[in-house]
Structures are given as structure tokens and as C-alpha cells.
Amino acid sequence: MGTVAILGAGVMGETLLSGLIRSGRSADELIVTARRPERAEQLTDRYAVRAMSNVEAAQAADTLVLVVKPQDMGGLVEEIRGHVTAGNLVVSLAAGIPTQYLESRLPDGVAVVRVMPNTPALVDQGMAAVSPGRSADAAHLEEAAELLRSCGRVVQVAEKHQDAVTAISGSGPAYIFYVVEAMIEAGVVLGLPRPTATELVVQTLFGAATMMRETGQHPTVLREQVTSPGGTTAAALRQLDDHKVRAAFITAMEAAATRSHELASGND
Ligand SMILES: NC(=O)C1=CN([C@@H]2O[C@H](COP(=O)(O)OP(=O)(O)OC[C@H]3O[C@@H](n4cnc5c(N)ncnc54)[C@H](OP(=O)(O)O)[C@@H]3O)[C@@H](O)[C@H]2O)C=CC1
Ligand SMILES: O=C(O)[C@@H]1CCC=N1
């Protein structure tokens, strides 16, 4: 696969970097770039990878992984465009940025793959969706997928679905953490010590997720198994329905997808 440069190694870039290292990729084949020298130093200390400027990284690497915020993408591409050639693969992890945005700013024929990852990649449980741009062939797509497979699962989707993917699995961990926070607060309201409430909620989430994965049963079936007629769960679910929690989730994810779409036009 050659040398991989992670341009803009913040939260998501470091997550991918650590996954590549854990999966056995040699630090010699990995380059990072950062805006702040202290961040670059932190990464070189932690992972023994090389840090360089964006231009140097574009010149040195075969695969360029762009992980800056969507709002910073224009500036980054402008900086490296003169140093990217048709031999490079460009992989973008940015929300909302279409492959066409990058293709139109890079030299003709450069292969671009758009990816939407998520942060559980930090513990090798990531979920990433990949979509090829105009000049990306099956080998390019596989190369991008292999990068992400180092830290989780990978699916291919049509690029038109990437805003939806962003809303569901890209932002998804944040919704789950939000629900966990709310359940912990509920435990505290009910008089449980905070550490006990936290242990109960985190293990319940882990158990429920493992059950879905291992039984393959639909969540509706699993929910019904917990819900005794006239029991405690039915009383709680009735409140969630009365407060339109399901509708709120759908509306929230529609908002995320809309925002992903807006990011393409550089809206701050
Ligand atoms: N966090 C997440 O859960 C997910 C994020 N993404 C996408 O990943 C991308 C990065 O997000 P995230 O990691 O959270 O953001 P971060 O702000 O943590 O990381 C971006 C990094 O890029 C640096 N940077 C900005 N401009 C440049 C530049 N010109 N050259 C070099 N480095 C630069 C920033 O520096 P500085 O620290 O100085 O600001 C920062 O360290 C976004 O496009 C986002 O949409 C996708 C899926 C999930
Ligand atoms: O909030 C964001 O915009 C990024 C994209 C998906 C997760 N975090």
C-alpha cells in the first residue's frame, strides 16, 4: 500500500493512525501533519511516526488521507494541489465534502475515495462507509477500505447516501453517549451512587449491543422480550412514546444529514 500520510491529525486522524499502528502497519510508512507544532510533537512522541508539512507529506506519500474539518478542506487542498499527482490516492474522511469537490480542485485523474468513519475505531469497533469518486477504481476503493478495516467494519455505499451515513453512524456515537448520560442521571435521581449508575448503564448498553450482534434478532423482538405486560418496562416506554422520543431521534438525524449536505457549500 506504500506510505500513508494523515493530513490534519486531530481526533479522527489520530484514531485512524492508532488503528493502523495496532494492525501492524510500520510507523516508517506513516506520516502525519498538524497545524500546531506541539500537536505534531505529541503524535511523533506517541507513535514514532514522521511529522512534516502538508506539502512535504503530499510529495512523500502514496496515499493522502484528508482529515481536517470540512471548513478547512478548501485551504488544505489549495496548499497541496500542486504536489498531488495521478499516482496518489486521496481519501477524505470529512463530513459533507463530495468527491467532486476534491476532484475539481486536484489534478485530472487523481483517484478520490470518500469515507465516513466513527470514533469507536479507537477500540477497533469502528464503522466506516466508503464511496468511490469518478477516477477511483476497485483497487483504490479496496485500498481505502483496507485502511479503515484496520480499526473496524467497512461497507460500501453510493455517495448519495453519505449524508445519511454521517447522520447515523458518523455522529451516532454521540447520540449513544447522550442516552447513556441521561440514564446515569436517572439512576442518580433514583438514589444510586454515580459510579454504580455508570456501571449499570455502560454494561447494559454493552450487553444489549452484544445481544443484537450475536443473536441477529430484530431489536423489536429483543425489546418485546424485556417488556412484561403491565410491567416496569411498559411503564417507561409509554413515557418515551408520550414524549415523542422516537420522533425526536428521526428529526435529529434528518437535521444531521441536512447539516452534512450544507457543509459541502462551506457553510460555517
Ligand atoms: N470526530 C468524529 O467523530 C468524526 C469526524 N469526522 C471528520 O473528520 C474530520 C476531522 O474531525 P476531528 O478529527 O473531529 O477534528 P479535529 O479538529 O480534532 O481535527 C482536525 C485537525 O486538523 C488540523 N488542521 C486544520 N487545518 C489544518 C491544515 N491546514 N494542515 C494541517 N492540519 C490542519 C487541526 O488543527 P488544530 O488542532 O490547530 O485545529 C486539527 O488538529 C472532519 O472533517 C470531520 O467531519 C468524520 C467522522 C467522525
Ligand atoms: O460532528 C461532525 O460534524 C463530525 C462528522 C461526524 C461526526 N462528527
Question: What CATH code is carried by the domain that includes residue 185?
Answer: 1.10.3730.10
pLDDT greater than 80 at residue 92:
yes
**Domain co-membership, 150 together with 48:** yes
> Per-residue pLDDT averaged across 48-70, rounded?
98
Give the total number of structural domains in the chain.
2
**22, 191, 201, 205 from 197: Cα distances, Å:** 32, 9, 6, 12
**CATH, residue 118:** 3.40.50.720
**Domain co-membership, 181 together with 135:** no
Written as one letter, the residue type at 149 is R
**Domain co-membership, 26 together with 154:** yes
**Domain co-membership, 187 together with 127:** no
**Domain co-membership, 120 together with 213:** no
| C-alpha grid cell, residue 96 | 459533507
Instruction: State whether the beta carbon of 171 lies less than 6 angstroms from ligand 2.
Output: yes
pLDDT band at 267 (very low <50, low <70, confident <90, very high): low
pLDDT band at 264 (very low <50, low <70, confident <90, very high): confident
**24, 95, 113, 220 from 262: Cα distances, Å:** 37, 10, 20, 34
**Domain co-membership, 18 together with 145:** yes
> Per-residue pLDDT averaged across 51-56, rounded?
98
Instruction: State whether the beta carbon of 11 lies less than 6 angstroms from ligand 1.
Output: yes
pLDDT score at 265: 76
Instruction: State whether the beta carbon of 95 lies less than 6 angstroms from ligand 2.
Output: yes
| Closest ligand to the CA of 166 | 2
Range of the domain at 256: 172-263
Q: What residues form DSSP beta bridges with 114?
A: 92, 131
Cα torsion through 52, 268, 160, 64, rounded to 10: 0
pLDDT score at 9: 97
**Domain co-membership, 47 together with 134:** yes
pLDDT in tens, 149-170: 999 999 999 999 999 999 999 9
**115, 177, 188, 233, 237 from 182: Cα distances, Å:** 31, 9, 10, 17, 15
Give distance in angstroms: CA of 108 to centre of ligand 1. Answer: 26
165 domain-assigned: no
Binding-site members for NADP(+) are: 7-12
21 domain-assigned: yes
pLDDT score at 142: 98
Predicted ipTM?
Answer: 0.98
pLDDT score at 66: 98
Indicate the residue among 158, 180, 200 that finishes a domain. Answer: 158
Asked if residue 65 lies in contact with residue 13, where contact means CB atoms within 8 angstroms, the answer is yes
Mean pLDDT of the chain: 97
| Closest ligand to the CA of 93 | 1
